[in-house]
Amino acid sequence: VCSMGNSTSRLYSALAKTLSSSAVSQHQDCLEQPDSAQLDPIDPKDLLEECQIVLQKRPPRFQRDFVDLKKNAASNHRPIRVMQWNILAQALGEGKDNFVQCPMEALKWEERKCLILEEILAYKPDILCLQEVDHYFDTFEPLLSRLGYQCTFFPKPWSPCLDVEQNNGPDGCALFFLKDRFELINSANIRLTAMKLKTNQVAIAQTLKCNETGRLFCIAVTHLKARTGWERFRSAQGCDLLQNLKSITQGAKIPLIICGDFNAEPTEEVYREFSNSSLNLNSAYKLLSPDGQSEPPYTTWKIRPSGECRHTLDYIWYSQHALNVNSALGLLTEEQIGPNRLPSFNYPSDHLSLVCDFSFNQDPDRLL
């Protein structure tokens, strides 16, 4: 077992079966996935407390409140909480992204991973969809599996993390769901295509059965191509993903939730493709606006050498004929984010987490 650096002994006890990032970088060739099924379960309250001990010199977590969006829609089952988050790959944060107002000390993995875990533990998602995961095998899989999640990871074929010295392997998408709430029926790892060419972007789509209701639904996570000038490329990737999901959901017979960093503002073609799809999708965070028709003003906010970047790129899409959005987590205010923007000592990523509570429509065929 490798030392966890300057972690406290209590955190070390919770993470005893995980590898340190330095160990991984030195032994890439012999890295094996830990057999987490043999590890003892972790009480989430204990892990949260241990993370807070490591973070005691940092400012406290920002307060974010859920906004009730129910429209007198009674539900006969416990809501399904879904969390979407681009957590910022460690190799990119330290080696490529050039957050000019963020001190390197704030990006230190031994503490930043605790900020990420603290955010996840605070909102207790039933389903967790992450992008830019480059510490899956040494952190998220061993820990979240011990918290009761079933875990799936699909790395990018040519991850930019591999260009960074002392990287921790490729980044990719990861999907986690609580095994006591859902049963896995089908799982597909999708390498997205554009103009009939395979691309570096991926998606995971899993059909789950809700143990409480017996209802099936599909949950998907993706991360589309970044940067200005690639709008048509993203549009083609979006079309490919939609085609795959139409097949998996049997043309929307199975309700669908899609989480992702689309790297696209609502003005882009790929956004319109999802809005106008035959899958009858709506974007959950539009419901926070006064008219229910406008996306939030930002889901990412950072400062790079080229200037300030404030964009809406992250979404939770859902089958509006079959699912209701009971509530959504409010975003951080500009005052909370602060003048140096994200990431920071307060917040571990340049993207905000999105969290929604869903319930099944009692008459799912009514709006088809």
Alpha-carbon gap, residue 55 to 57, rounded angstroms: 6
Nearest to 86 by CA among 127, 48, 128: 128
Please check whether residue 143 lies inside any domain of the structure: yes
Q: What is the pLDDT of residues 88-108, one digit of tens each?
A: 999 999 988 889 999 999 999
Question: 172, 138 in Cβ contact below 8 A?
Answer: no
Please check whether residue 39 lies inside any domain of the structure: no
Q: Look at residue 364 in the predicted model and tell me its pLDDT.
A: 52
Question: 16, 7 in Cβ contact below 8 A?
Answer: no
Mean pLDDT throughout 68-93?
90
Q: Look at residue 132 in the predicted model and tell me its pLDDT.
A: 98
Nearest to 202 by CA among 185, 188, 184: 188
Q: What is the pLDDT of residues 123-179, one digit of tens each?
A: 999 999 999 999 999 999 999 999 999 999 999 999 999 999 999 999 999 999 999
Please check whether residue 130 lies inside any domain of the structure: yes
Alpha-carbon gap, residue 6 to 3, rounded angstroms: 9
| 204 has pLDDT over 80 | yes
What's the domain count of the chain?
A: 1
Please check whether residue 270 lies inside any domain of the structure: yes
Mean pLDDT throughout 207-231?
97
Alpha-carbon gap, residue 92 to 135, rounded angstroms: 12
Please check whether residue 129 lies inside any domain of the structure: yes
Question: 175, 205 in Cβ contact below 8 A?
Answer: no
How far is the CA of 285 from the CAs of 152, 261, 299, 353, in angstroms? Answer: 25, 14, 10, 12
Q: What angle in degrees, to the nearest 10, is found between the helix axes of 44-54 and 109-123?
A: 140
- pLDDT-based confidence at 70, cuts 50/70/90? confident
Nearest to 129 by CA among 169, 172, 93, 91: 172
What size, in residues, is the chain?
Answer: 368
Please check whether residue 289 lies inside any domain of the structure: yes
Alpha-carbon gap, residue 236 to 194, rounded angstroms: 5
Whole-number CA gyration radius for the chain: 20
- pLDDT-based confidence at 8, cuts 50/70/90? very low
Helix (H) or strand (E) holding 223: strand 216-223
| 23 has pLDDT over 60 | no
pTM, two decimal places: 0.90
Task: Dihedral sign for Cα 52, 54, 55, 56, please.
Answer: positive
| 77 has pLDDT over 50 | yes
Range of the domain at 232: 80-363
Find tokens 């000019």 and name the residue: 100
- Secondary structure of 30-96 as H, E, C letters: HCCCCCHHHCCCCCHHHHHHHHHHHCCCCCCCCCCCEEECCCCCCCCCCCEEEEEEECCCHHHHHHC
- In DSSP notation, 132-199 reads EES-IIIIIHHHHHHTTEEEEEEE-TT-GGGGSTT--S--EEEEEEETTTEEEEEEEEEEEEETTEEE
Residue 206 belongs to domain with CATH number: 3.60.10.10
- In DSSP notation, 278-324 reads TT-EEEGGGGGSTTS----S-SEEEEETTEEEEE--EEEEEETTTEE
Alpha-carbon gap, residue 189 to 31, rounded angstroms: 22
* Lookup: tokens for 301: 């906010």
Q: Look at residue 3 in the predicted model and tell me its pLDDT.
A: 34
Q: What is the pLDDT of residues 324-357, one digit of tens each?
A: 999 999 999 999 999 999 999 999 999 999 999 9
Please check whether residue 29 lies inside any domain of the structure: no
Q: Look at residue 118 in the predicted model and tell me its pLDDT.
A: 97
| 188 has pLDDT over 90 | yes
| 365 has pLDDT over 80 | no
